[in-house]
Amino acid sequence: MDQRRPPALRVLDDPWARHFLSPAFRAALGTIKASGPLGEWVEAHSTGLAAYILTRHRYIDDLLVAALARGIEQVVILGAGYDTRAYRFSDALAGRPVWELDFPATSARKLEILGRLGKDLPPARVQHLQIDFRQEQVEDALFRGQFLLGRPTFFIWEGVSMYLTRDAVKATLHMLQGLGGPGSELAMDFWFLLDAPDLVAAAHRLTPNLLHVLGEPITFGIHPDDVTHFLDRLGYRANEVMTAARLEARYLDNQRSVYPADYVVHATWGS
Ligand SMILES: C[S@@+](CC[C@H](N)C(=O)[O-])C[C@H]1O[C@@H](n2cnc3c(N)ncnc32)[C@H](O)[C@@H]1O
């Protein structure tokens, strides 16, 4: 969606994203492109989920670039999906390794599409590790991929915690501390149940039920007011909590609004 704008108006630039669209989403995007101002209106008045995903991705991009400039040595992307940072930040990574973890089916489809893109892709030192977080430990998968234990690592855990149980989220956060050395960083996002009494919040409270029907039940949430303490108890320091309002203020200058029931946290530990 963002890629259809002129480069100067994009929140982020992902020239590879369109290659991962299914035929149905390709058709939807074509319709939005063709409908001009109507497409803009539809986007501006949507639930804000697309604007959330876009601004969350850009915010984590910015964190990653800053961490690479500070000298972070490696990157781990948990539940990577169709993340293309290994290619988009090929220059900034400068040969530093990236490990991407995801379900076997998603990982295999991604590899097939990347294979087709082949020589068009910039150089990347990326390994795709197949895992079901509910059945295998992240550390076992990473060790299969010759992960370097105890080095300063940038962990990205984007768009996943809400689909896991509270115990699984806590266990993974606990484990990451043992994997990344001093100076490591984490960027992850959370869903929470809006508790305002108005109709808009009430409508947003329906989303998890809709997602359940679509086969992607939301199973974990934590309010942004509580997340700093939650992370603190697990040994993390939350540097920044990027709520919808903050993402909107930082990255969007048009009438789009960001879905209010998710937010991103940048956290550190061990330094
Ligand atoms: C909403 S997508 C987010 C993808 C990507 N991180 C992004 O933000 O664009 C969630 C990703 O987590 C992966 N995922 C969810 N549950 C998982 C599990 N139990 N084991 C492995 N991967 C999982 C999905 O396959 C999917 O790629």
pLDDT in tens, 113-162: 999 999 899 999 999 999 998 888 899 999 999 999 999 999 999 999 99
Partners of 241 in the β-ladder:
265
Whether 133 is covered by a domain: the verdict is yes
For ligand 1, mutation pick of 133, 156, 160 (most atoms within 8 Å of CB) = 160
Question: Cβ < 6 Å from ligand 1: which residues?
Answer: 79-81, 83, 102-103, 106, 131-134, 158-160, 163
CA-nearest residue, atom 14 of ligand 1 = 79
For 189, other C-beta atoms within 10 Å of its C-beta total 22
- Tally the domains of the chain: 1
CATH number of the domain that residue 187 is part of: 3.40.50.150
Q: pLDDT of 36-87, one tens digit each?
A: 887 777 777 778 988 999 999 999 999 999 999 999 999 999 999 999 999 9
Best CA proximity match to 54, nearest among 105, 62, 192 = 62
240 is written with which tokens? 């920044």
Residue 17 belongs to a domain: no
Q: Counting atoms of ligand 1 from 1, which one is nearest the CA of 106? A: 25
Beta strands in the chain (DSSP E): 74-78, 98-102, 126-130, 153-157, 185-191, 237-242, 262-268
Q: Is residue 41 part of a domain?
A: no
Contact present, 185 and 268 (Cβ < 8 Å):
yes
pLDDT band at 31 (very low <50, low <70, confident <90, very high): confident
Pocket test for ligand 1, best of 57, 102, 157, 167 (most atoms within 8 A of CB): 102
- By residue range, what is the domain housing residue 98? 47-268
Is residue 96 included in any domain, yes or no?
Answer: yes
Residue 24 in domain: no
